[in-house]
Structure 1
Amino acid sequence: MRRYALAMRIAFAVLRLVAAAAIVAAVVGQFVKSLSLVPEPGVFLVNFFSFFTIQSNLIGAVVLVVGAVLAFRGRDDSPGFALVRACATTYLTTTLVVFNLLLRDLALDQAATVPWSNEILHVWAPLYVLVDWVLAPGRRPIGWNRLWLVAVYPLVWAAYTMVRGPIADWYPYPFLNPDVAPGVGYGGVLVYVLAIAAFILLMGAGVLALSRTSWPYPADPALSGAAGSPRASAPRPRESAR
């Protein structure tokens, strides 16, 4: 069983590096293509990296690389990294759902869409990160009192977008533009933002719930970062009480 678990760690470490490389390639591919078509590269640079899709995928790539290093070393997630990884999983799952339900048939302001890049960033990378969270060994339980932290970054991003939008006369997504349809205004935008925030919290709750199960791997203290320590097998009353 121990050999199997170690083999799974190595397998997921390799998969994480491959997925991270695919994300970086997709971001670079889209960036280079779009940059070659825009008249104002400086403005485009800021706009490009203001997309939630781009930011969430880059966060995911960093998390995957760090997770690969931990897996190669045979270590479980630290408490802090477990929370960051849970957030990245939530954000990319949100990207997957929102894009495919609301944005797939809309033209976004990125000069041109690179089809293979678009599919990696909006479908395959989010799906892999979600599968990785469910199946990869090394997950650490996260307390419910940390759920609110999952929503911090999306709300900051939404606030940044709404403050910058009127100044730059640019919004990354049509549903955030109060002028996209007559009569919608900021009230309509607020409804979208609140709905997406609620969805993010719902997804975050699901991600945290998964962190609190040992499935599909039974607990094996010898494989944790504290292998060999008597404390490795001790129960965690504070975590289980949350």
Structure 2
Amino acid sequence: MELWWSYHHESLLPPNAGFTRTFGPGWDSFFNQFVFFTTQSNIILGITTLLLALQIKRNSEWFHIWRLVGLIDITITAIVFNFVLATGPSRGGIAELASTFEHMINPILAIVGWFVFGPSGSVTIRRMIIAAMIPILYAGFTLIRGAIMQWYPYNILDVTNLGYSGVSIYIVAIFILFLIIAFVLFLFDRWLGSKWIRH
């Protein structure tokens, strides 16, 4: 829904943006949507969930790493969107519905589904360390692209307003949040695996 909306509308500026560039409507706005952390986390979560639905017993190391990334990122998406990001004007209609799913419903379904269905034993220290590289790569890519394109997806990454020092504070805070969520999932994975019958 969000991608459909982005194709038919001009991309919105983050609240209090220090820049004026926008994209679209059209393919520029459509492809720009993939720069958003929200879009990426929902795509990763959706693909890994679909693969698990087709076959829950999976041995691929990289699958479980990406599954972990999806779970952590979607949790961060919910927390940061609802408690940190400045609220922009309501877009209404299908865009507002898509936002509700991406930032609220999908994160809840993801965590509940993981609690109930597992798979158990999929969260390991090694996978946590590798998964933690993904948000670092995202931050680096976003800042480099932002400097070139003069556009940033979120006000907490708006170098024009906050400077690199201000943006760095948010990046470090979100990275710490990533590690905390990963460790909590690790502990619950061990506990649930011993208490419940999970796959």
Give TM-score, length-normalised by structure 2.
Answer: 0.82
Code of the aligned partner of 2:65? L
Where in structure 2 are the equivalents of 1:123-134 lying within 5 Å? 123-134=104-115
Kindly indicate whether the alpha-carbon contact (under 8 Å) linking 1:89 and 1:207 is maintained by their aligned counterparts in 2: no
Q: Which has the larger radius of gyration?
A: 1
Once the two structures are TM-superposed, the CA of residue 120 in structure 1 deviates from its matched residue by 0.3
For residue 198 of structure 1, the aligned residue among 163, 176, 179 is 176
Deviation by residue 1:14-58 (Cα, 9 ceiling, x = unmatched): xxxxxxxxxxxxxxx222223222345343233211001001100
Q: Secondary structure, in 3 states, of the residue corresponding to 2:123?
A: coil
Structure 2: runs of 5 or more not aligned: 11-23
Matched, 1:55 2:36: no
Where in structure 2 are the equivalents of 1:149-228 lying within 5 Å? 149-180=130-161, 184-213=162-191, 214-218=193-197
The aligned residue for residue 65 of structure 2 is 83
For residue 119 of structure 2, the aligned residue among 138, 142, 149 is 138
The aligned residue for residue 35 of structure 1 is 7
What is the alpha-carbon distance in structure 1 between the residues aligned to residue 121 and residue 108 of structure 2? 20
The aligned residue for residue 14 of structure 2 is none
Deviation by residue 1:109-147 (Cα, 9 ceiling, x = unmatched): x9x971110000001111111111111143224332332
Structure 1: runs of 5 or more not aligned: 1-28, 225-242
Code of the aligned partner of 2:5? K
Once the two structures are TM-superposed, the CA of residue 83 in structure 1 deviates from its matched residue by 3.1
Once the two structures are TM-superposed, the CA of residue 150 in structure 1 deviates from its matched residue by 2.1
Extract structure 1 runs of 4+ deviating beyond 3 A.
none
Code of the aligned partner of 1:209? L
Count of residue pairs brought into register by the alignment: 184
The two structures, once aligned, show a CA RMSD in angstroms of 2.5
What is the alpha-carbon distance in structure 1 between the residues aligned to residue 116 and residue 152 of structure 2? 36
Give TM-score, length-normalised by structure 1.
Answer: 0.68
CA 1:51–1:128 in 2, change beyond 3 Å: closer, same or farther?
same
Kindly indicate whether the alpha-carbon contact (under 8 Å) linking 1:151 and 1:201 is maintained by their aligned counterparts in 2: yes
Once the two structures are TM-superposed, the CA of residue 82 in structure 1 deviates from its matched residue by 3.1
